[in-house]
């Protein structure tokens, strides 16, 4: 699942800059958008924003921070 927003007035097939907005552990897409405002900023400023949802609200990190 993901949330996607594109710039206002952008035509289908038009290339846009893309921001991938990753949520924190146990943070929802709605909480992240409320905190960052990235989707609204992107639609106003001419870029696309995609916010994927991690499995169980987490990202699968395959190694420890000490590695």
Q: What pLDDT digit, counting tens, does each position of 39-61 carry? A: 889 888 888 898 888 777 666 66
> Is pLDDT at 23 greater than 70 in this prediction?
yes
Residue 64 lies in a domain: no
20 phi and psi, to 5 degrees? -100, 115
Helices (H), the chain: 29-36, 38-45
Residue 65 lies in a domain: no
Residue 63 lies in a domain: no
Average pLDDT value for residue range 11-38: 85
> Is pLDDT at 2 greater than 70 in this prediction?
no
CA proximity to 1, closest of 56, 41, 48, 38: 56
- Residues 17, 49: Cα–Cα separation, whole Å: 9
Residue 39 lies in a domain: yes
Average pLDDT value for residue range 18-25: 84
Residue 67 lies in a domain: no
Q: What is the pLDDT of residue 37?
A: 92
Residue 50 lies in a domain: yes
Residue 36 lies in a domain: yes
Q: Say how many domains are in the chain.
A: 1
């Amino acid at each position: 699942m993901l949330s996607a927003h594109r710039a206002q007035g952008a035509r289908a097939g038009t290339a846009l800059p893309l921001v991938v907005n990753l949520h924190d552990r146990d943070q929802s897409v709605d909480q992240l958008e409320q905190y960052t405002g990235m989707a609204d900023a992107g639609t106003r400023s001419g870029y696309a924003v995609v916010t994927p949802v991690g499995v169980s609200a987490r990202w699968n990190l395959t190694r420890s921070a000490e590695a």
